[in-house]
Amino acid sequence: MVTDETIDQALARLDRCGRKTPLEGKWQTAPYDNVSFCDEQAAVILVDSVYVVGVGRVSGRLVLIGDAIRDDEQFVNSSVEAFADCAETFWDGTRDRPDNDDEALEAAAQELRKKMELLDPHAFEGENQLWPTAIEEFGYGI
């Protein structure tokens, strides 16, 4: 069972980067509200106008929940700890962006993807998932 304390411990690691992630919205605080998703309860950790981000209380997986999210795009990470690992690595890998050099930017994106795939391979199973999309946009200079 994933507790609020477990979630808080993992998300506290993101405080050093101002909780900057590719996800937009308002970060929630404990005690977290729960929503039903895929036959389990998910703790809502971030709220956006289109979706919420939840952590499965049983499975531990991090998911996007919302009417506009297709089934194959819901999964974000295997756990809140894996999300924190990926978010920290993404932040570290993108803050020193190579300027005006498309090849260097693309190489940096490829290296970042390799590092992050090691942290949570399931987060990279689909090209439309959060992290592959964010890395691709980074590689394009977005």
* Domain ranges (residues) in the chain: 4-139
- Cα-trace Rg, the chain: 15
Q: What is the pLDDT of residue 68?
A: 56
From residue 134, alpha-carbon distances to 29, 36, 57, 59, 139 in Å are: 25, 27, 26, 24, 9
Separation of alpha carbons 20 and 142, rounded Å: 15
Specify whether the CB–CB gap between 97 and 89 falls below 8 A.
no
SS3 content of the chain, % helix, strand, coil (to 5): 45, 20, 35
Q: What is the pLDDT of residue 66?
A: 82
Report the alpha-carbon distance of residue 33 to residue 23 in Å, rounded: 19
- What predicted TM-score, i.e. pTM, was given to this entire model? 0.91
For residue 131, CA distances in Å to 41, 51, 52, 59 come to 24, 17, 17, 20
Q: What is the pLDDT of residue 69?
A: 55
* pLDDT score, position 87: 96
10-residue block means of pLDDT along the chain (142 residues)?
97 90 94 90 93 94 77 78 97 83 90 97 93 94 82
